[in-house]
Chains A and B, each alone.
Chain A
Amino acid sequence: MGLPLFSADGDPGPSFWHLADGAGMTAGFGGSARDSPHATTVIAVRFNAGVVMVGDRQATGNYIASRDVRKIEAADRFTALAISGSAARGIELLKIAQLSFEHYEKMTDSALSLEGKANYLSPIVQRNNLTTPLTVVLLLAGWDESHLEGRIFEYDGAGGCYERLDFATIGSGSPFAEGTLRLGFRENLEREEALDLGALALYEAGDNDPSTGGPDFVRNTFPMMVTVSAEGFQELPNADVGERFRLINERRTESRGVAGGSLR
């Protein structure tokens, strides 16, 4: 927004609501929103030097439409953004986020704060979800350069944005992943511990939720695992991720499909 100058007769006065409404910053209503299944599981976990994000790769309609979808993308160097819900709208939103953050940086010669990025997407999700049935839910996690810590922001279907201090999940496999995270999370996890916990939570979701794809040893396709820290957005190589899931799978095979008494 440039300098909001008004002539004396079109001036919104001291009312911020009228100013925001005139600038199109408030949500419109209309259309019909309905619940659509967010066939996905994406997890974000904070650790002592950043955040870990794990996401499955299956696109589900009435059947499995794709097995290698990327639901987590780098919105910029220090921000990971994950989508669930409508694929078309979700991917469009990813593109808007990527371009918006870059545009802001070029125009102002300063990077947007992590909180600023999270807030910026709120009304965009809100407008989409309140006016179309193509619901999108986001999960944003990143490295906060001004506070020097990893932070997680979770959205709800109405566009509400909430900071989570421990972990967050989106998608239909959330309840299963959440159960694992609740038992396994503690403050100041090491990077490796957070990666293992994230992988285990996603394994649980893939095991229980029909719309979440677990590790696929036949096709050698595994969930995406990402860390965002002071070094920026880093994706784990497929072989590394495969090895982590192979270990979980072996343990589960030993104890015939259940965790077998401990979080493993």
Chain B
Amino acid sequence: MTNYFYVSPEQLIKDRAEFAQKGIARGRSLVAAIYDKGVVMVAENPSASLNKISEVYDRIAFAGVGRYNEFDRLREAGIRWADTTGFTYSRDDVDARALANYYAQHLGDMFTEGQKPLEVEILVAQLGNALRPTKLYRVAYEGTISDEPYFAVVGGDAETIRDRFALSEESLETLAATLKNAAAALAGPDRVLPAEELEVCILEDRGNRRTFLRLTDEQIKEMLS
């Protein structure tokens, strides 16, 4: 006969949250911010091929921190959801809020019912147009979803970075200025992050249907200088 020990729900949730937080804290953080012409996402990422930021749809981008294999699967699922929704209805009907909700539901399910909670935090960014507003949705490991007004930080050191970035944030600035602030907030007072260790992507209208753009190291260098 197997013996089951009683664990109170409070303790269970606490343990699981601690486990997820620890996993997320091991990775580097990520800042997303709205600038005068679009949305920029800046991640501290020494790898040039294992990306944290990705295009999801015409005006939607995904960013994830924590365990790579876990958020990459969520990224793929998001792209599949967006492409099938756009195919079934129309491209105008693909909405970042709906996607963020699905992520929240899945993360919530995994947190309470899964073998282990997912050690990830997700950010879904949407570039606004006549139909929808520009939005940053942050989804935490336990499925909490929040709608951030100007900028969002995800990752282990989010609190400190948020405070640092908030100091610089006054009104909507140019891409270069916003990028500088984000890079400085990620680095902290004692470091300077070189362009090679930054992953920077933007959503900006350039006259095409697809608005996502990944900046090259040269472009990042130029903007930071």
Contacts and interface: CB of A to CB of B under 8 A. Distances in A.
B84 A20 contact: yes
Interface stretch (B24-32, B72-80, B206-214): B72-80
Given A1-B84, A116-B93, A146 B131 contact: yes
A3 to B, nearest CB: 4
Interface in B55-100: 73-74, 77-78, 80-81, 83-85, 87-90, 92-93, 95, 98
A110 B80 CA distance: 21
B200 to A, nearest CB: 25
A3 B84 contact: no
Interface string A1-28: 1111110000000001001100101000
B150 interface: no
Contact of A116 (B74, B83, B90): B90
B77 A113 contact: no
Interface in A81-124: 104, 108, 110, 112-113, 115-120
A119 B89 contact: yes
Given A1-B85, A16-B83, A113 B90 contact: yes
> Interface majority SS on B: helix, strand, loop or mixed?
helix
A120 B89 contact: yes
B77 A3 contact: yes
A190 B14 CA distance: 66
B93 A113 contact: yes
Given A4-B77, A4-B81, A146-B131, A108 B89 contact: no
A108 B97 CA distance: 9
Contacts of B88: 1, 25, 119-120
Interface size class of A (residues with CB under 8 A): 20 to 34
A110 B85 contact: no
Contacts of B131: 146
Given A23-B84, A108-B95, A3 B90 contact: no
A3 B81 contact: yes
Nearest to A107: B98
A25 B103 contact: no
A25 B90 CA distance: 15
Interface in B135-168: none
Nearest to B98: A108
A162 B83 CA distance: 21
Given A113-B93, A120-B88, A120-B89, A3 B83 contact: no
Contacts of B80: 4, 19
A5 B98 CA distance: 16
6 contacts: A1-B81, A3-B103, A25-B88, A108-B95, A112-B90, A119-B88
Interface of B: 73-74, 77-78, 80-81, 83-85, 87-90, 92-93, 95, 98, 102-103, 105-106, 130-131
